[in-house]
A and B are shown apart, each in its own frame.
Chain A
Amino acid sequence: MSIKRYTAIALLLAATWFGCGAWAADPLGRFPIDPAEVSVSGISSGAFMANQLHIAHSAGIIGAGMIAGGLYGCAVDSISEDGVLALASLAVGPCMSVPTLLRPVDFYARLTADLAARGWIDPPGDLARSRVYLFTGQADKVVNSKTIELGTSLYRTLGVPAAQVKFRDRDLPGAGAGHSWVTKNFGNACDANAKPFINDCHYDQAEELLQTIYGQLQPPAARPAGRIVVFDQTEFAPGGAAAANGLLDTGSLYVPKACEPGAAQRCRLHVVLHGCLQSAEVLRDEFYTKIGVNEWADTNRILVLYPQAHATTVAELSSQDSSSLFNTNPNGCWNWWGYAGDKQFLTKQGVQVRAIWSMVQRVTGQGN
């Protein structure tokens, strides 16, 4: 057999191995992390999920960054004994494009208090020590700025002191930022509202977000010297059914050299959540290598967890019935309107909140 033929067979085997999804990623590992230094951020649907994680687990998360999204319970219509009724039409309507139909801040504050009284989320009093960064671009055509302004008011209403809340929206160049994670030198034009939803506005959003949460940081690395680890997410989904619950089979982790197991000093953990159409299914590694967070993480002992969502179709749902169409997630967004039949999506019992929190506990060595 010729060398060419051997090579062809090897390539075919490799293509089959990786292409059919048979390749199993490694389990998520434990790292030397201080569990009191966990924070979260996200853009768009990731911002809504970061907000949900923060408010549900306020006792365990010290700060949050919400970019172009994030108003707790925005898509909720009512609350019942087994969870909340949320509507996709509330998400795409009042929450994203018709802000005049948003409810007063008291509604969302009461909802938060009600969920806490049922023990479904941590007491909102724990939020008082949080540091919070919120951002909306003036050229954002996807999620209206009023929603983020109301999200900011909600944090204040829930007891976060004004000095600990940073709301940014007006001072970027030109028309301002479109719907995007904003960077210093990568991505679309600043006012674009298009894939990959990473825009170059000569503004280092990662810097301001992380410094709002962690205080003054060391200057970033010119090039990150750590490693990206792709890990198995299926173990964090109920019954391993990741796809049915809007979770991708694998997530990613950025590990700076200073945070490798055996490091002398413990690191911090920052969870970053992509937006719709930004998961590794769509952008491959672009989101988790180009938004500028790893550069800051490298020099400041921050391990960065990048969980990944999945675009769920009707066929992938755990059961198909007349309600199935309401339960799909065609754009691979994080769950902030109760898809996949999850009535607890914004509480500690929500499938995705629980999955991400279990990842946090694993990485920090707190559980499982």
Chain B
Amino acid sequence: MVDTVQSANGGFGFLTDLIGIQMRNMEAIRQAQQKMLEGMSVLAKRQTEIIEGTLRRSVGEPPAATSSDIRSVVGHQIESLKTTILENQTNSNILSEMAARSSAEVANILQSRMMAALDEFKTALDHAIP
């Protein structure tokens, strides 16, 4: 009779532990989703800034065809093209780094929770099966 009660208590405790683990897992997923949303918001903001900056610079550019010297016109256009290529590459690097950092933060949250959950499960199992 005593064994049966102990077993029932142990089973109930194990169930409580499992629910606790699951709750913490859900909390970690919520945090990860929040980080992901924050990351996406920062990325979107940065993309908007990039588009605004590009528009501002293109509007501010002096018209290339006003000079009568063809070499000057072509030279100017080549320089403009080079600058645009460099800017695009840099903007792409910035966005990639932001996305990678955001993903790394999400991965860190999920990974550390997974490791903790495994430890917690082992402890709960040790308690349930003496």
Contacts and interface: CB of A to CB of B under 8 A. Distances in A.
Interface of A: 77-78, 85, 87-90, 92-94, 97-98, 100-101, 321-323, 326
B30 to A, nearest CB: 19
A321 B87 contact: no
Interface of B: 42, 46, 53, 57, 83, 86-87, 90-91, 93-94, 96-98, 100-101, 103-105, 107-108, 111
A33 B15 CA distance: 68
Nearest to A324: B104
B42 A78 contact: yes
Contact of A87 (B86, B97, B111): B97
Given A322-B104, A323-B105, A326-B104, A98 B86 contact: yes
Contacts of A323: 101, 104-105, 108
A101 B108 contact: no
B90 A93 contact: yes
A40 B130 CA distance: 66
Contact of B108 (A85, A87, A321): A321
25 contacts: A77-B46, A87-B94, A87-B97, A87-B98, A88-B97, A89-B90, A89-B97, A92-B93, A93-B93, A97-B86, A98-B83, A98-B87, A100-B57, A100-B83, A100-B86, A101-B53, A101-B87, A101-B90, A321-B108, A322-B111, A323-B104, A323-B105, A326-B97, A326-B100, A326-B101
Contacts of B100: 326
Nearest to B84: A100
Contacts of A87: 94, 97-98, 101
Given A77-B46, A100-B83, A101-B53, A89 B104 contact: no
Nearest to A90: B94
Contacts of B107: 322
A98 B97 contact: no
A296 B97 CA distance: 44
A134 B16 CA distance: 66
Contacts of B98: 77, 87
Given A321-B108, A322-B107, 7 more contacts: A87-B97, A93-B94, A98-B83, A98-B90, A101-B90, A322-B108, A326-B104
B71 to A, nearest CB: 23
A148 B53 CA distance: 21
A89 B96 contact: yes
A265 B90 CA distance: 53
Most central of A90, A97, A100 by chain B CB within 10 Å: A100
Contacts of B46: 77
A90 B94 CA distance: 7
Contact of A321 (B53, B83, B103, B104): B104
A100 B58 CA distance: 12
B52 to A, nearest CB: 12
B49 to A, nearest CB: 9
* CB-based closest 5 A-B pairs: A93-B90, A322-B104, A89-B93, A323-B104, A322-B107
A291 B35 CA distance: 47
Contacts of A101: 53, 87, 90-91
Contacts of B105: 322-323
Nearest to B50: A101
A90 B87 CA distance: 11
A97 to B, nearest CB: 7
A93 B88 CA distance: 11
A94 B90 contact: yes
Contacts of A88: 97
A94 B97 CA distance: 14
